[in-house]
Structure 1
């Protein structure tokens, strides 16, 4: 899990962001909250933090001042701004300090998902490169740029390994994690992320979501299951989060899907 800190002087907004978005399902853990940039900076200087989601206008230290301070310290912590329309130009100017993106208030589920999924991919790439440079993946089979360079025996090995990983996910999709699978298959965490993407054609997190959604769609055909029960069964504690995720995947809410399921060919 990548470590995230949420910074906003409005308690209601801060709590909403922390509690009503499924951060753990897209690979993030909220390790701290702060009500201004100074509190956030003090925490970051003492702990490892991968990403900061910060409001711009705050007392004591603004989000831009926090970004400037982290930039001057050559911090690798990525920053995403929360901003109102009136602060939009102000937010854009802060891109010089390495701010990755900005989200217009009020925050939208789809926008958070899109931006943080992209940031997770960036973090995966960075960690993978670091691990390879440090020789942490010496026990894993080497990746190459072109599949054509692999001989038939090696190709079969990779296909079997991906099939085994997918089989495990199919059995433990409710709460499976990349860390868990990496340990089970004796692979470096960040190497596994790249390996799975290369040989399966999709991100590990995307594959887990597809398994969950397809299982949910199957269960929706049985009217004895309530929607919240299905969400809980596949690993969503919050029924609203399940409904949002399902609609993003199928283009229909669970209720709409149940009323008009796709016609099988």
Structure 2
């Protein structure tokens, strides 16, 4: 688990983020919350913390002032700004002080999930004293997901694949893209199309039957997708031979 503190002078936001966002699913533990930057700084100077999610405009010490001080102290805490102010000057200062990201209120669940999912991968690699073990773990998850897709191509979904490897769907989507360079949905489509080619080569199956076998209840949708993917229709493929991806 990566340690996390939340800093915001608005109690409703502070408590809402700390209590109701699924941090544990992403691999984070909220260890403290603060209502101003000075209290957070005092804590950070004596306690190692992996991540700080911080509002910009606060009493006593602003988020910018906190970022400047942490930068001066060469702190390894990853700092993310949370603010309702779309102000370019703030954004520029965030860049100067190596702030990791800039999240505008009101926060969207999917955006927050994606940002912290990506950050977790960075923190894992930074923290892991054994890179080979981390990469091995990453590879095992990706292999398991790909195997699941190729075994259940007919009705596979992101939710089913995520459940199979015990990950949240939002996290798996970001994770899969990060590690393979390909969207999960694109990989599923490729698996379906490859299976379709294999089945179309068997003269026993008609196009509408292949369509159903790879998860398309509507044969017209299957034909349209197949042609977009391979450049020929299923009928044309049967007549002329194997298409190229």
TM-score (norm 2): 0.59
Aligned to 1:198, which of 139, 144, 148? Answer: 139
Question: How many angstroms apart in 2 are the aligned matches of 1:97 and 1:88?
Answer: 14
Native 8 Å contact 1:56 1:91 kept in 2 = no
Is 1:50 aligned with 2:26? no
Tell me: CA distance 1:211–1:100, structure 2 relative to 1, closer, same or farther (3 Å).
Answer: same
Deviations 1:155-201 (A, max 9, x none): xxxxxxxxxxxxxxxxxxxxxxxxxxxxxxxxxxxx3x321113443
Residue 127 (structure 1) aligned with residue 73 (structure 2): no
Shift of 1:94: 1.9
* In 1, Cα distance between equivalents of 2:85 and 2:160: 38
Contact 1:4 1:52 in 2 (8 A): yes
Q: Per-residue CA shift, 1:183-242, capped at 9, x if unaligned?
A: xxxxxxxx3x321113443799xx9xx999328999xxxxxxxxxxxxxxxx99xxxxx9
Distance in 1, Cα, partners of 2:25 & 2:216: 30
Tell me if structure 2 keeps the 8 A contact 1:6–1:34. Answer: yes
In structure 2, what is the equivalent of residue 74 of structure 1? 74
Give how far 1:84 is off.
Answer: 1.8
Equivalences, count = 170
Are residues 1:213 and 2:154 paired? no
Confirm or deny: 8 A CA contact 2:113 2:170 kept in the other structure.
no
Change (3 A) 1:82 1:217: closer
Deviations 1:6-25 (A, max 9, x none): 00000011111112210000
Preserved CA contact (<8 Å) 1:196 1:202: no
In the TM superposition, what are the counterparts of 1:1-265 in structure 2 within 5 Å?
Answer: 1-128=1-128, 130-131=129-130, 143=132, 191=133, 193-201=134-142, 213-214=159-160, 263=215
Give the Cα–Cα distance (whole angstroms) in 1 for the partners of residues 121 and 163 of structure 2. Answer: 27
Change (3 A) 1:217 1:125: closer
Q: For structure 2, which runs of at least 5 residues remain unmatched after alignment?
A: 149-155, 175-183, 186-213, 218-245
Distance 1:82 1:101 in 2: 9
CA distance in 1, matches of 2:104, 2:143: 29
